[in-house]
Each structure stands twice: as C-alpha cells, then as structure tokens.
Amino acid sequence: EVQLVESGGGLVHPGGSLRLSCTTSGFRFSSYEMNWVRQAPGKGLEWVSYISDSGNTRYYADSVKGRFTVSRDNAKNSLYLQLNSLRAEDTAVYYCARGPTGYMDSWGQGNLVTVSS
Amino acid sequence: DIQMTQSPSYLSASIGDRVTITCQASQDIVNSLNWFQQHPGKAPKLLISDASKLETGVPSRFSGGGSGTDFTLAISSLQPEDVATYYCQQFDSLPLTFGGGTKVDIK
C-alpha cells in the first residue's frame, strides 16, 4: 500500500524556520518525482514545489522562491521541505504528493504549519 | 501564470441529480487538466487525468470532458459520498495552478 506521512509542522514565529518531512512506503520512492502543495485554512490548493526523481531538478512557486528549499533522500525514502523566513501567509496545511506535476496520484494526510506571534 | 476559473463555487443538488462543474483556463492548455476531489479534513484525491481519463477505482458516474480552454466535470447521478469540494488543476506550464474549487452539497 502506498503511504506518505508528513511530519514536522507546528507553530512558528514570523521570520522563523521549520523543516517538513514526508516519509514514504509501499512504492519505489527513488523512481518518482514529488511535489509539495499547500492549503491555507478554508482556502484552495496552491502548488509549492517540485523535485525530480534524482533531485537534480527543482521548481518553486514565486511566493516561496528563495525562502523554501525542497530536497530528498532516496536512501531514506523521504522528501523534505525547508521553510525559512516564514510569514503569516505561509500558514497552511502542507501536503506531499507523489508523481510528476501532471499526475499527482497519491497524497499524504497533510501537516499544519501555523506562523503567528 | 495560467488562471483557472471554476464555476459555480457552490452547488446544492438532490440525490440522483446530474451535476456539472466547469473550469476555464486563461489560455489554451490542450488537455493538460486534472480533477481532484477533497472531502472535508482529507487530502485531495485524483479523480480524472488528462481531462477525461478516469482514475482506477473512481465510480463511472464521474466523467470529464473538454479541451483547449473549457473543461467540465460531470457526476451523472449524485450520491451522498460525493459531498466534497472539487478542484481542477492545469499542468500545461509552471507554476501549476488550481481552480478556486466547487463545493458540492446535497439538497
């Protein structure tokens, strides 16, 4: 069974940092491209970042470029998102999603990040 | 960025009704469009890919159509478990963008 489990969220002050993890199982992680998508409370979905299967190619939404960094450890079947210089508008549930940008077929349960003083 | 406009934002229909959701792209995206279903408090689920390909396990009452800039998601006979918010998503170019969502409820 394909499983993606996010962790690392929580309450952080504006300007602070956080590292999200997405631990996967049930599929060959190293063969899959991955994405992060977020959803602010009561709002719609916003794509955040993409990383290729090898980790050599990464893309970001303009709203997070220069502040967030996506990475992966294929030996640990894990995906990461480093969130720096956090703002109130980054408050959201963050989902990791398996697949290329055109086919995100499995998603984690989501992890809430709250940026507040 | 490609803007995705969904309508309506909310709809209420009776069990067994046919419902249709539309999604319009701000430019031609050919068939680079997916539909997701999201139940409250849950992760999105991929329903339809490439505008019209039903994902494995998705009931046949769901269908997708369209190409270019105009797309539709239809539910042929609304069921209680279909109460959810539906999102379209384009993948023609980065950044990926989603429609604003359509909340479907039972009358």
B101 Cα to chain A: minimum distance (Å): 6
Q: Residues 31 to 70 of A: which have CB under 8 A from any B CB?
A: 35, 37, 44-47, 50, 59, 61-62
Q: Half-sphere exposure (CA, 13 Å, Cβ side) for B71?
A: 33
Query: Phi/psi of residue A76, each to 5°?
Result: -105, 5
Tens digits of residue pLDDT in A11-20: 999 999 999 9
Task: Give the torsion through C-alpha atoms of B39, A44, B66, B20, to 10 deg.
Answer: 50
CA angle B36, B41, B44 (to 5 degrees): 15
What six digits make up the tokens of B36? Answer: 């997701």
What residues in B contact A101, CB-CB < 8 Å?
Answer: 91, 94, 96
Q: What pLDDT was estimated at residue B19?
A: 98
Q: What pLDDT was estimated at residue B76?
A: 98
Q: What pLDDT was estimated at residue A19?
A: 98
What residues in B contact A104, CB-CB < 8 Å?
Answer: 34, 46
Widest CA span of chain B, in angstroms? 38
Tens digits of residue pLDDT in A42-75: 999 999 999 999 999 999 999 999 999 999 999 9
Is there a contact between A107 and B44 if contact means CB atoms under 8 Å apart? yes
CA nearest to B86, candidates B105, B106, B67 = B105
What residues in B contact A102, CB-CB < 8 Å?
Answer: 32, 34, 49-50, 91
Is there a contact between A95 and B43 if contact means CB atoms under 8 Å apart? yes
Residue of B32, B43, B87 with shortest CB distance to A107? B43
Q: What pLDDT was estimated at residue A101?
A: 86
Positions in chain B whose pLDDT score sits under 70:
none
What residues in A contact B55, CB-CB < 8 Å?
Answer: 105
Please answer whether residues A81 and A73 qualify as being in contact, where contact means their C-beta atoms are separated by less than 8 angstroms.
Answer: no
Residue of A95, A101, A110 with shortest CB distance to B96? A101
Residue of A46, A61, A109 with shortest CB distance to B43? A109
Please answer whether residues B85 and B102 qualify as being in contact, where contact means their C-beta atoms are separated by less than 8 angstroms.
Answer: yes
Q: What pLDDT was estimated at residue A67?
A: 98
B94 Cα to chain A: minimum distance (Å): 8
* Mean pLDDT of chain A, nearest integer: 97
Q: Specify the amino acid at residue B18.
A: R
Q: What pLDDT was estimated at residue B93?
A: 95
Query: Phi/psi of residue A101, each to 5°?
Result: -60, -25
Q: Is B100 on the interface with A (CB under 8 A)?
A: yes
* CB atoms inside a 10 Å sphere around CB A14: 12
Is there a contact between B96 and A95 if contact means CB atoms under 8 Å apart? no
Please answer whether residues B99 and B89 qualify as being in contact, where contact means their C-beta atoms are separated by less than 8 angstroms.
Answer: yes
